[in-house]
Structures are given as structure tokens and as C-alpha cells.
A = this chain, B = another copy of it.
Amino acid sequence: MVYFDAASAAPLHPVARQALQASLDEGWADPARLYREGRRARLLLDAAREAAAEAVGCRPDELVFTTSGTRAVHAGIEGALAGRRRAGRHLIVSAVEHSSVLHSADVHEAAGGSVTQIPVDRTGRVSPSAYADALRPDTALACLQSANHEVGTEQPVAEVAQVCRAAGVPLLVDAAQSLVWGRVEGDWSLLTASAHKWGGPSGVGLLVVRKGVRFAPQGPVDERESGRAAGFENIPAVVAAAASLRAVRAEAAAEAARLRELTDRIRVRVPALVPDVEVVGDDTHRLPGIVTFSCLYVDGEALLHELDRAGFSVSSGSSCTSSTLIPSHVLKAMGVLSEGNVRVSLPPGTPSADVDRFLSVLPGTVAAIREKLGVPVEPARAPAGSDSLVVDALGRRCPIPVIELAKVIGDVPVGGTVRVLSDDEAARLDIPAWCEMRGQEYVGEQAAERGVGYVVRRVK
């Protein structure tokens, strides 16, 4: 089995395993206790905190260990918002944040706060000026990921941090995807991360709050971890997390260059090998190991299933909505094709041959799925009959509405329109994306008795 889903979780790093096993004997006791076992546990915890702080580039007393990256985000956002309640209740987030950030924003909004979502361009990148424009006198906090978890696009964190600093607003950076590769540059105020993304064990996140940042932990009082992360410390896991972060960092520069070459290979060759593919994400500002593409006329779930059968583990759509059929909020915000979406995220150490084998398997896999779905392989036929057609794709899931559209576009003359009736949320994204890929004109939406009518004009 070839595992290409490191952005979701990385296998345990050998150094993490060693550190975990060694500290199971030393780190199980309560570090708040004064007896020998407690003091020993405290020493381990302190050393892990120092190592993690060094990797982050902060003071040890600015960093606490949480039980996951998600918990770090939840606690970081609610603590920062509460600490700045006097300033106001306005929160800024980008539209492509991890669901833990967006769900925290939902809670804030439900409690009467206001939220501004910063849009992204087609590569998934925010612009610092959009943050500048969104800042208000009552802005309590701004959030920006260091890099996107679905498409790998790196964000201009340092510039946004500068803009926020100038306005006196703290910036929280979700560094879950990038901390493995290096420190987050710039004058950020809070930072979160997750150990199982860098080969550390599950159950460990980081929350960093810079000195001077107003922060009021929420929830029941708990004296552990400076009152910022309730519950008994998981010291063996924390030790393993810190040790593995240090270990991956030692090889980060060389490994990043190597993985970047492998993802470049995928970026370049997939569109050449597979017809009707859109590679999404920023070409330059991107993480070394992630590459994402969408395949027209393909059901993402079926593609994942077939790739799994062929021995490849990849993910699709939003990494956080795998159990639903709604297209990823990230792809939606970018305005790119969502159907047949595949995220390949290479773990450090991925052999070059695995990537080549993936590239050799992918074209046939995609073709087989398309064939099963009855995708039109013919180019647009000669016009015949009416200059406007209606395709009823109600009740049919993505990619069927787009396939049906492709089947009939040649049946209207140039200048004629096709109206696709669909109640699948993905159509809203994928029909315009198909138009862009095919050089046809997307006219817009029309109300319909059931679902929505998506109108497309044939222009060639």
C-alpha cells in the first residue's frame, strides 16, 4: 500500500516511536506532584516544551501542549476573542481555513459576534490588502493558516501579520500543515499546530500565545498547562512529538527539495496523461508535498475507491468532510472544479518510484470510471434542432449533471443555450468550472421549481 495522505495524518516517525517508548516508563506520573516520579515527569515535560518552543521560535512559557491541533485552534480562538472582548467582537478568517477555525467562527457568530471571511483567488491565496480592508476598530482577532491543507497553497502570513500588527490586532496562525518544514516567519501573535502531521503521535497539539497578547482561557478552570489546556498531561506523547519535530526539521530542507520535485512531476504530468484535468493551487507558493487536481466527469469517491484498490491511499474533496457529499469549502472558495478531486500529499521519504507508479495507474483508472459513467468522448456534434435545450439532472449526483451537459452541448447551435436542472450542490461549482475548461460561456443561475437551473451558452 502506498500512502499519499500525509496532510491528513503521517505515520509515526521512528524517532517519535523511540521517544514514546522511552518515556512511557518515566513520564506517566503527575508532573504537579513533588515526589520523585512527579519530578521526573515534570523534567520530561519541561524539556519537551523547550524543544518544541525552539522549533516554533518562541519562548517555552509561551507554548502549551493541547490534546490535538483542533483543540489548540478552539482554545486559541476563544481565548483570544475573550481576552480582547473590550476591543470588540469582530473576527476575521480566510475562506479556506481548516474546519476547526471556521467552526470556531460559527460559534462566535452564534453568540452574537461578527465574522468577516476573506476571499481567496483561484490559487487559494488571500491578499494582505483584503485583510487590511477588513480590519475594523472592533476587530478582536484575525486568523490565517500558514498553508492550505487541501491544495498546499502558502499564504502571505508575514505580510498579513504586519498589517494586523499595525492595527493592533493579534493574528492567529494555524500552522498545522507547514510547521514540519520550518518556523512561521513574521510577527504573528498566536500559533497552533498538530503533532500527527509531522510524524508525532496522535493526541498532541501546540498552542502558542506570545507574551503581551491578551488571552483569557475559557471553560472550567484547570491549573495544568498554564490554564490553557485542561486535563492530565500526556507526557510520553508530548515527548515523542517534540523529539520527532526536531528530527524532521533536521532533514526538512533536503526533503522539501526532493518532495517538491516529485509533486512538480505530478503537476506537470497528470494533465498530460489524463484528459480534462485541472491542477489546483498555487504553482509557486506551495507546500513541498501536496498536489491537488480535479478530473472532469469523475465521481471523486469512485476514484478514491479505485485508487485504493490499485494500492494508493489518497484523499478527496475537503479533507474534513469525507463523510458528506458537499464539495470542499476550499475548492468552493477558489472557484475551481470540485468533481473527481484528488489530493496527493506525500509523506517525507516517499520513493520516487511510488510517484511514477501512481502516474502510470491514474490514467487508466480515470478512463475506466468515465467509461462506466458514459462520458461523451466525441467532440461536439453538428447542431440539430432547437437553439435551447433543458437537461433534467434532478436527483443525480455529481459528476452526472456535468456529463449530461457535455453530452448535449453539441446539440445546440453556437449561440444557443443549455439549461441544466440540478439539485446537487456540487453543480454550482462544477458547471462554471467546466465552462472555463471547455471555453464555453457560463450565463448564470435561474430559479427552477426544483433545484437550480444552470445556463450555459455554446460559443464554439
Contact with B along A349-379 (1 / 0, CB 8 A): 0000000000000000000000000000000
Residue in B closest to A197 when the chains form the complex, CB atoms:
B232
Inter-chain contacts of A69 with B (CB < 8 A): 231-232
Q: Quick one: which of A17-35 are within 8 Å of B by CB?
A: 17, 20-21, 24-25, 28-30, 32-35
**A103 CB–B CB distance under 8 Å:** yes
Residue of A12, A24, A103 with most partner-chain B CB within 10 A:
A24
Inter-chain contacts of A68 with B (CB < 8 A): 67, 230-232
**Shortest Cβ distance from residue A240 to the other chain B in the assembled complex, whole angstroms:** 10
How many residues of A are counted as interface, with CB atoms below 8 angstroms from the partner's CB atoms? 66
Inter-chain contacts of A20 with B (CB < 8 A): 24
On whether A74 and B219 interact (CB within 8 A), knowing A196-B28, A203-B234, the answer reads: yes
A51-59, A245-253, A308-316, A436-444 - the one binding chain B: A308-316
**Shortest Cβ distance from residue A218 to the other chain B in the assembled complex, whole angstroms:** 9
State in angstroms the CA–CA spacing of A128 and B185 once bound together.
Answer: 59
On whether A196 and B232 interact (CB within 8 A), knowing A28-B202, A222-B100, A237-B237, the answer reads: yes
State in angstroms the CA–CA spacing of A233 and B222 once bound together.
Answer: 22
Inter-chain contacts of A166 with B (CB < 8 A): none
**A107 CB–B CB distance under 8 Å:** yes
Contact with B along A384-428 (1 / 0, CB 8 A): 000000000000000000000000000000000000000000000
Asked if A304 and B203 make an inter-chain contact with CB atoms under 8 angstroms apart, the answer reads no
Further pairs besides A32-B323, A35-B313: 20, Cβ < 8 Å: A3-B29, A3-B37, A5-B35, A17-B24, A20-B24, A21-B21, A28-B196, A35-B308, A35-B315, A68-B230, A68-B231, A71-B230, A74-B230, A100-B230, A194-B232, A202-B232, A202-B233, A203-B234, A223-B320, A237-B237
Between A and B, 10 residue pairs with Cβ closer than 8 Å are A5-B30, A8-B30, A9-B28, A9-B30, A34-B304, A35-B312, A35-B314, A202-B236, A205-B231, A223-B323
